[in-house]
Structure formats: structure tokens, C-alpha cells
Amino acid sequence: MPKKSQGLTKGTGQGKHRPSDAVSGFGDFRLDLTQEMVFREGRAIHLRPKAFAALKLFYERINRFVTYQELRDSVWGKGFRVEDKNIVETVGEVRDKLGNCRRWIVTRPNTGYGLFVPERPPAKRSKRRAPKTSGRRQSARVFVNRPESGELNQKPGSSPSSGVLTPVVPMDENNVFSYPGGHASAIRLYGRADAYISPERLFLEYEDEPYELPKEMRREAKERIDRLTREAREHNRIFFNGPCARLLRWHHNQHGAPELDTLELVLGPVGWYQFEGTNGVIRDQLRQGLQSSYKRYVDLQTLQQDGDLQHRCKLSNMIGNAVTIFTSDGKVGYQQRGQRQSSVPGLLTSAVAENVNRYKDEVSRKDRDSRKLVNPVRYDARLNTGPDDTYRPKGIPHLVAAVRRGIQEETSPILMDYVGSLGIKLTGLAFGLDNLHPDALWIVLMDLTAERFKELRRDYPGKDAFEGDIEFVPATLIASSTQDVLRRPDWVPAGKASLIRAIQLIGAINPRGTPSKAFDILASAR
């Protein structure tokens, strides 16, 4: 039973509230069915009757979706005409009252909503401070994430990191994606200031070089895959051995002016299970405090210098795409992941996060046009159908094709109509220190406002739009709302790096102007 506490204002009167005997609950929340109130750790939270009725229904159907019609019938009554905006407002009130647990209310486009509660409620952030360091200036900082505190050992006055599990890596701060007050836990391989790579300056090759798990990891990898498969079935999550791609080598060719630079990437095959079986095992070891376990498999220092991931990192090196949306009103978008995903459920990440698929994103070696796909017929991983990791492409899996697909599937098929011919740009390459694999960072310019983007995504959602909600902040690091979002501890490092890098590029392109002016410049830049 929650503790007795001072109540909140109810209507226009003041009073004390405490739970009655008719109480049910989830996480830290208790639902008082008699008083129609919610308590969190003993503190009363007042909901209007309709909002309480919606939350009660969500709780009764916990970890399942409730359709719009079921909401109408249960909350407003059968036969009562209810506009969609009333449902959205009511669910929005429920989310607001849940505070930092608002992401537990998951939207499924064209279906309804559901309350998906993790097995354990989010842990409170420790107030323990990082130890003081000497006043001497050091050439490098040691980034180490202490599992018991979730904070970084860094200079006094800097803020905690994304709360991810980070190995001990002596790195100069210029080698991570940083902003005033913090950084993303990802090593910068390429991308700084006003440098970017347009698709015509990105050269891709593919080598059919199968990946083999290190022998000493195979048993543990199999056990992990078996466990994740069982959990995915139990929680109705997507877990499919897709034909992904890994980054073997990369090389940045500098030709004087940044707009003449090119980037060469050599890809190879890897499966999703291989990624989870290797990188996932290392992540589990880091979670157990074995900070040095990664050193056996990853040579980060040399990897930065020669770009040879195939020989410098013995893990999967699966390459992902972290895409930041930039709208014409000077806003940048990020995503709050839903709870049904087997990959990073409930966390903040880039507006679009899409791995390269060897089948879906395959283009011809002859013309290498990312718009002309070899396999235009799609398959649905949720049904476990279609090509798996055994698929061998004759062409080249293309990163830009994966970015386009991600926009269509995770936002809306019609939103690509608002992306100009020069609207997709690679802003960086990162090596995440959570899962220890590379990501390509992108900025995609959409010629519409952030609000219009959200409206179109809501009205014409992509098939995977249920994966998360996309929100926007000003494309400047001096905006308090942008700072607040970046300071949140629940970031996927690649997603945070993508957002930071996009804002850096926008500022560097037009340092004395507004982000909307930078949009016009980038939209016509090659």
C-alpha cells in the first residue's frame, strides 16, 4: 500500500488524498478505483474522469493494444460520437500525468494505443557526483561509465552522459561527438564542422566475405539468441535473423575543398543474430562490470587511424543508419522508441534508425542508383518470411537506399516527396561505445514544418511508424529545450551523435544566421 501523502489540488479545492482499499497498480503507479485517482509512490495525481477511464482500460489490457473503437465504447459509451482529436487529447493527458514513464503508452497507427510496462520500472538516477580531478590540463579524458552510478568520470562541471555502458577508452574529447555540457558515447570516425558527403560522393563496394563468430563466444552467443527468441515471442516483439550488412573498411579521400571530398565504404554480409550473439554478449559483460572485456575484440585506437574494421574489430561490425530530420522551420527531429521493439525499446534515438538490408536495399553494380532497387518486392520481418541471413546479393547493399526505406517505413511513404534531390547528406561515421559497432550519421532535409511533418506521419503512417514517436527541438545548441533533450540519460549513442552532428553542421553552414536560413543553403548544396 502506498504511503500517506499530501494530496494535490482537485478541482478548485485543496485537500489530502490517500488510496482507498480498492487499489490496483503497475510500476510505481497505483490506481484507486473508488476515488478514480492515481498515486505514484504515495503522491496523488489527479486525472479527469475520461482520462482515468482510459488509463483504467489500458491497465486492464496491459501489454496489449486497445483499439480506437474499444476506447470510444469504454470511455465515452457505445453509440456516442467521438472525434479523433478528443481521443488524442485524452490519451495525451494520461501520458502527461505519467511523467517520465509517458513512453509506456505506445501508439499503433490506424489501430489504437497500449500500455506496455517494462519488467522493472526505470531506475532513478544516482545523485553521486563524479570524483574531482586535479586542476592540471590534460590532453585526453578517460571515458568510463560506472555501472553503479551511470555517470562519467569527466571534468568538473560537465554533465552525465547518456547512461550507456561505456568501456574505458583514453580519447581526446575531439574524438567524440560533444556539445557544451556533455557528449554522445560514440567515437568520431568521420565528420566535423561543415563537412558532409552527398550521395554522389559516397562510393560503396561489397565483398561476399562471411563473418565468423570468435570460437570462444559461440556457446554464449547461441544461449543468448535462444533466450532473446523466447522473450520476443513472450512479449510479441520483432526478432528476425535479417540479412544485414557490416562495414569492413572505410576511407576518406580529401581533395582540398570539403565539397570535393569523397568517402569509400566496403561492406560485407552479417546476420542480425550474429550481431546480437557477439556485440550483445560484450554488452552483457560490460553490464556486469567487466570493463576490460571489450579490449580483447576491439582495437579502437588503430581502427580510427586505418579504417580497417574487419581486422581491428572481431565483433559483427554491423552498420546502421542514424537519420536526423531537418525541417524548413529550423527544427530537428528525434525518436522515442516504443516498447514492442526487441532493439533498444523505450529509448531515445534518431528520427529514423535503419540497418542496411542486403535484400531490401540492393542496387545494381552497373548504375548504383539508390532509387533503382534490384528487389522491389518487400517482405515482412514480423512474419518471419522472406530472405534471411543466407541471402547473397549480386549487386550492392546501398546505405542511401536504406535511408530512403527507413523514412518511408518509419515515418510515412509520402514524406519522401518533401525531400529534394540534394536533401540527403551523410554527416559522419560513428563507432558506438554501447554496442561497439559503426553507424552512418545522416541529415535529411524536408521542405515542410515540423508540425506538418507530424500531421502527415499521423494521417499517412508508414508500416513501422508504431516503432516510436518523433518529436522536434530547435536546431541550435543554445535552445533550452534542445539542451534538456540532449541531457536525458536514455539515449542510444548513435541517435544522440546523429542529432549533435546535424546541429553542428547546421551551425557551421550558417554561423551567424538562423537554422531556417541554413536549411536553404544545405538544400541546394552539393
In the chain, what percentage of residues exceed pLDDT 90? Answer: 40
CA distance 145 to 258: 35
Domain of 424?
183-523
Same-domain status, 60 and 191: no
Q: Is 85 exposed, middle or buried (0-12, 13-18, 19+ CB in 10 A)?
A: exposed
Number of domains in the chain: 2
**Scanning the structure block, which residue is given the C-alpha cell 500531421?**
455
Distance set, CA 46 to CA 71, 98, 122, 276, 297 (Å): 20, 11, 22, 43, 52
Same-domain status, 272 and 382: yes
Domain boundary among 115, 148, 168: 115
CATH code of residue 52? 1.10.10.10
Same-domain status, 109 and 193: no
Band of pLDDT at residue 521, cut at 50, 70 and 90: very high
The CA angle 344-347-353, to the nearest 5 degrees, is 65
pLDDT tens digits, one per residue of 227-285: 888 887 787 766 677 899 999 999 988 766 677 788 999 999 999 888 988 888 887 77
294 versus 145: which is more confidently predicted?
A: 294
Among the listed residues 246, 243, 249, 189, the one whose alpha carbon sits nearest the alpha carbon of residue 426: 189
Same-domain status, 101 and 236: no
Any domain includes 102: yes
Single pTM value for the model: 0.68
CATH code of residue 246? 3.90.79.10
Q: What are 494's three cell numbers?
A: 548513435
pLDDT tens digits, one per residue of 389-410: 889 999 999 999 999 999 999 9
CA distance 336 to 108: 13
Any domain includes 489: yes
**Scanning the structure block, which residue is given the C-alpha cell 561490425?**
317
CA distance 286 to 272: 20
Same-domain status, 199 and 100: no
Domain boundary among 62, 84, 115: 115
pLDDT tens digits, one per residue of 434-457: 788 999 999 999 999 999 999 999
Any domain includes 430: yes
pLDDT tens digits, one per residue of 25-49: 777 888 887 777 888 887 888 888 9
Among the listed residues 172, 179, 162, the one whose alpha carbon sits nearest the alpha carbon of residue 139: 172
Domain boundary among 74, 90, 115: 115
Among the listed residues 53, 55, 101, the one whose alpha carbon sits nearest the alpha carbon of residue 77: 53
pLDDT at 368 over 90: no
Any domain includes 434: yes
CA distance 385 to 377: 12
Among the listed residues 192, 199, 336, 178, the one whose alpha carbon sits nearest the alpha carbon of residue 262: 199
Same-domain status, 361 and 220: yes
